Structure 1
C-alpha cells in the first residue's frame, strides 16, 4: 500500500508543489526583512528638485536687528489731514455755523459729493483739509459770512494698501495718510524669519512718465542707510516681500515674476522658467542686476550667445531684465525702476 502511494505520480506532483510553495514563502520573507533593514538612499545621479530654501534665510538675530531698525525709523502716526479722498469714502461733514447743513455723504465713482445748497463738489484727490477749505469757500461765496467746516472720514475705502509675502502680519490695511516704505513694513509687523532682502512695490495707478513697479534692496535701505530708497507709498499700492532664495525675471518674457533658486539654476534655465522670450524680446540685450560681497548692486550686460554666460549660476536676489527690440520699444506700457542702481526699464 505504501509503495503504491509513493509511486503514484499525482502524489509526487503534489509533494513537489508544497515544497516549492514553502521555498517561495521563505524567499519572500527574506526579501521583506532585508528591505526593511536596508537604509533609504537616493540614486547617485538623482538630484533633489531644489536646494533647501533655509540655506538662504537670514539668521534670527539678523532679522531681529533689521526689524528693530525698521521700527525705530518708522513714522507710525501721520497727520490725519494727509489722507487723499477717493471713491467710496464715507464722509461726515459738519458746518459749525449751521447744523442743518451737516451731512453724511459717500464719494461717488467720479469723485463727487452732493451737499445742501452748493450741490456737487469734486473732492477726489484732495486731503480732508483741502476739501474743508474748498467747501468753506463755496459756502462763503453765497450763503455764510465766515463758515467753519470739518470733515471726518468714517470709512477709508479708496485708500488701502496690500502687504503680501514674508510680513509678520500680511494683509490689506486702511491707509489714512501717506507714509513711506519703512512705515508700511512696520505696519505689517516687520519681516518674518523667511523674508528675503528685496522688496517689490507695485503702483495701482499709472502716472505718465513714471514707473509702475519699484524694486528696493532692504540691505541698502536699512543697513547702509540709503534713505532715497525709502519711497513714498500710495493708496492702492501692493508691497511684496518674497521669501529668501529667489530671483526675479522681468521685461520681455512670457511670465515675469519671482522664482525659487533650484539646485543649480543658471541664466538660461531662469529665462525658461519665466516662460521664455516674447517675440519682441531683444535676446542680446539682457541685464543682470546682482548684489556683490560689499553690498553694492551692479548692472551687468549679458550676451546669451556665449555658452559661459548661458551657464552662469543665478544668485539669491538676482534680477534679470530682458529688453525689447527697437521697434517694440515705442510702446511704453509699464516701467520698472531698480532703485539704487540708476537703471529703469520701460516696456509694453
Structure 2
C-alpha cells in the first residue's frame, strides 16, 4: 500500500511540474554579435504555433495558446540593426483553435529580413534571430546563443552576477533587457490610417489600454441592486438618475456615475457606519448596462447596441453582432466624439482586420462609439436566355462586376446555350449592342467584360 501511495504522489508531482501556462510573464532579450534571442517566459508549459503569412519577410508571428497576455508593446532603440518593435495582443478563446482559453499573439516586426528559429523548453519560448549582415562584419566565428545559453543567462539571479557569482561586464548589463508588465511601451498605430477630419489626433482611436479602465464604471440609466447584510429594509433596486446620482433611505443622495460598483458599495457602507451600523456589509450588483454602449449598424447579422463591460475591442463586438452579412462592403467605419464635441471617423479596412488578421486594427472601443459597415455598392444586371436562373442579379460595383461573375450568379449556362452573347446597354440615351464570344473569354483570348448598371445580358440558344 505504501508503494502505491508513493507512486501516486510521484505521478501527481510529475503532472504538477507539467502544468500548462495560463499567462505570459516576461519577455527577455539576450543579445549576441550574431543577432538576438527573445525569451518569452510563462507561468507553465507553453503551447504555441507559428502563424504563416503571405509575405513573412518582415514579421514573425507567434500564437501562444491558452494564455493571457498582460505584456504591452515594446519598442527598442532606433539604432537597433533589425528589430523594429514587438507587438503584444490577447484574443478571446474563440480565436484559439484548441479552445483552451485565450490566445496571446506576439509579433516581431523587423526592419529587414533575418533568419530566425523558434524552440520551446519548459516554461519558455526562444526566438533566435541570426543577422548574417552582422556575421559578415565580424572577424571571427560567432556561435548564436542557444536556449541553453539563454537559460544560463536567466539563471543569474537579478542579472548582476555571472555564473560564478562574479559581476557581469557593464556592457552585458546594458544590453540585456527584461520586459515586465509595467515596463513595456504603450500602443501603436497601423500604417495608412484614415481619420476624418484631418486635424483629429491619432490618439483618439489608438491609445494605450491600462488595467485602470477594465472595471465597468456606472453611468446614467444603469440599473443596480443594492443589498445590505441583515438589513433587508435597505435592499433596493435603483436606476441611476439623469444627474448620475441615486437616493437611498438612511443614506441619502450620493453620486454613482463614473464610479465602479465596489466604490459605490464602499460609499454606502461608509455612510451607514458613521450613523447607524457598526460594520455594514454592502454588495452591489449591476442588473442593466445602459450607459456605456456602442451601436453597431449596417451589414451585420444583428445590428443593435452592445454594452461595454470592461475593455472590449472591435472583433469582440463584431462577434456579438453575429459577424458580417454577405452584403458587407470592404470597409468599416468607427464614429467617435472628440473632446470639442465634433464627430470623427476612422476607416478600418476589413481585409486587413479579418483576412490578414492585423491586430493593430482591432481597436479598443469607447462608450458612445457608432460602428457602421456599409453594404457594398451594387449594380443591377438583367440576364435573359439560356441560363439556369435567368432574372435580375446584383453585382458589386467596379472591376468585380464582370460578365463571367454575372453568368455564375445566374446559375451558369444551360445545355442549349450558345457561346455567343449580346449585351444591350444604354449610352447617352441610345441603346447599343455589344457582341461577345464567351469562348474567347474562357480561353483567355479576350478579357472579361466589365458590366454597367442596367445592362441586359442575352444568352442565345444554340440549335446545333
TM-score (normalizing by structure 2): 0.34
| Structure with greater strand share of residues | 2
Larger relative contact order (Cα-Cα within 8 Å, sequence gap ≥ 6): 1
